[in-house]
Amino acid sequence: MNQINIPYNKPSIVGKELEYIKQAVESGKISGDGIFSKKCSELIQKRYGIKKVLLTTSCSTALDMASILIDIKPGDEVILPSYTFVSTANSFFMRGAKLRFVDIREDTLNIDEDKIEEAITPQTRTIAVVHYAGISSEMDKILEIARKNNIYVIEDAAQGIESSYKGNYLGSIGDIGCYSFHETKNVICGEGGAILINNEKFLERAEIIREKGTDRSKFFRGEVDKYTWVDIGSSYLPSEILSAFLYAQLENIEVIINNRKKLWKYYYDNLEDMERKGLIKRPVIPASCEHNGHLFYVIVRNGKIRDHLLQYLKNRGVLAIFHYLPLHLSPMGMKMGYREGQLPVTEKISSRLVRLPIFYGLKRSDQDTVLGILEDFFKNEI
């Protein structure tokens, strides 16, 4: 077995994470919605201009809540990219929705806004937008389409915290946004997420769904003299221990993001020559977008080269990885009737993409090692 000297990802402590966890335990409350949960929610609300932020156990459960909030029912249709993590699809599919997968753009790898309208039917309820690699989808056009057809826009901004589109933070643009704080994201707590409510009609119900379908939050605010079961819901509250860790990360978000963007730029600048030679393609950042350095990928010429490159890096102690397998070609997607060739850009990109190691505190010498291995590999490929 090859020893990995440079991992793809490595969780980091950047501030007072351990101190805050100790405070949370000593406070006598480590279940959800304690002091640190509230601090996290307030910080995110204020920083990104969100009407209401509720922490969740993951981005997946935030998406589950979003699906309930917009009242997805069997027979409804949801438009989304196939090039995404399964949670984007599962949250709607579990409530009976038909998934209408749309191809992605070849530059940003986000849903192709020019292909959305042809997928709309009278049963369409929402467009689920995924901001791949923390780079925004073309939100002006998507919002225009949604308004014209009276459908919702949900942002799967799992990778998008601190990124923006025309000055607006990702997650704050659609009716509902969802963040992830999984250990592979920029800001982490192991497992965790947040639902961002931008449409006022969902403010009250979001609290109820998150509290197992009860009006418990109203009770704690003194708005009702007892709480009871009033709607569907589940327990989506993260532990206060996770929220304590997360708050320390959020306090240092500018430090984290600046570090990742420097790492991203170093890869980008040093891979220019390989792109010019036609060996790879680097990420594309539209002028309307500010990214967060979430991940750095290269796209090689074909799937065979991609597989050889991944193994070549691994043999030399570097863990680079591929990304999403297209959902429309998964066993579940095939059961829905999808077939190879229907989303050509998605299929082409997914077989050729390689994600390079990037995480807070990655050493410049480690990046130089990665770059050197890439250079050696392509010398042999030419």
Number of alpha helices (DSSP H) and beta strands (DSSP E) in the chain? 14, 12
Strands, DSSP E only, in the chain?
52-56, 77-81, 98-102, 124-130, 152-156, 164-165, 168-169, 176-180, 193-197, 289-290, 296-299, 353-356
User: What is residue 380's predicted lDDT score, i.e. its pLDDT?
Assistant: 80
**In this predicted model, what pLDDT tens digit does every residue of 186-231 receive, in sequence order?**
999 999 999 999 999 999 999 999 999 999 888 878 888 889 999 9
**In this predicted model, what pLDDT tens digit does every residue of 87-127 receive, in sequence order?**
999 999 999 999 999 999 999 999 999 999 999 999 999 99
DSSP 147-170: HHHT-EEEEE-TT-TT-EETTEET
Asked if residue 126 lies in contact with residue 78, where contact means CB atoms within 8 angstroms, the answer is: yes
- Name the amino acid, one letter, at 284: V
Asked if residue 160 lies in contact with residue 134, where contact means CB atoms within 8 angstroms, the answer is: yes
The CA distance from 151 to 125, in Å, is 5
Angle 323-345-358 from CA coordinates, rounded to 5°: 30
**In this predicted model, what pLDDT tens digit does every residue of 226-267 receive, in sequence order?**
899 999 999 999 999 999 999 999 999 999 999 999 999 999
Place of tokens 């780079």: 135
Domains and CATH numbers, the chain: 17-251 (3.40.640.10), 253-381 (3.90.1150.10)
**In this predicted model, what pLDDT tens digit does every residue of 271-284 receive, in sequence order?**
999 999 999 999 99
